[in-house]
């Protein structure tokens, strides 16, 4: 790892600039003999709290606001007490077999091999309660022709 540490800056006292540079190096993991830089002074080593250097923040816990607690006490002192509203869940009974309603138009192709599939669809719909109307059309029928045929089937 390489890095740059500014040492002499305009407007700074030289000893302060050197100490700041040494502190910057120390923070990057360089061993510094602090006794040399502070010799001849009455400076002594002091233990500091570690949380400031663990990059964690400390926020004092605020005391709870007494107003909401008083409001709750007032609300539960009424005739219904704290049981004004009761949340109760009741499971909805799921029907055993889904039922279809209304008339269903089943448009099926008219031709060989389509009979079995059309009959199976018709029986499945009718078996679940649908009123099935079957409309068999040829493969060459266009959309506008199909629209003209619908009134014949009551739709």
Across the chain, mean pLDDT equals 79
Please state the domain count of the chain: 2
Q: Are the CB atoms for 147 and 135 separated by under 8 Å?
A: no
Task: Determine, yes or no, domain membership for 14.
Answer: yes
Task: Determine, yes or no, domain membership for 29.
Answer: yes
Indicate if the pLDDT at residue 115 is higher than 70. Answer: yes
Name the percent of the chain lying above pLDDT 70: 72
Nearest-angstrom CA–CA distance, 99 and 95: 9
Over residues 48-65, the pLDDT tens digits come to: 666 666 666 656 667 667
- Closest Cα to residue 107, out of 128, 138, 130? 138
- Which residue segment(s) compose the domain that 109 sits in? 103-153
């Amino acid at each position: 790892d390489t890095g740059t540490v500014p040492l002499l800056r305009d407007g700074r006292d030289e000893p302060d600039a050197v100490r700041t540079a040494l502190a910057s190096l120390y923070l990057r993991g360089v061993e510094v003999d602090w006794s040399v830089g502070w010799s001849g002074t009455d400076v002594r080593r002091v233990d500091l709290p570690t949380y400031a250097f663990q990059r964690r923040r400390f926020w004092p816990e605020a005391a709870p606001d007494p107003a909401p607690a008083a409001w709750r006490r007032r609300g539960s002192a009424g005739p219904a007490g704290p049981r004004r509203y009761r949340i109760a869940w009741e499971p909805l009974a799921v029907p055993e077999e889904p039922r279809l309603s209304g008339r269903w138009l089943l448009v099926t192709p008219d031709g060989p091999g389509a009979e079995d599939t059309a009959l199976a669809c018709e029986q499945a719909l009718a078996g679940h309660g649908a009123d099935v109307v079957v409309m068999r059309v040829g493969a060459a029928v266009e959309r506008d022709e199909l629209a003209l045929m619908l009134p014949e089937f009551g739709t």
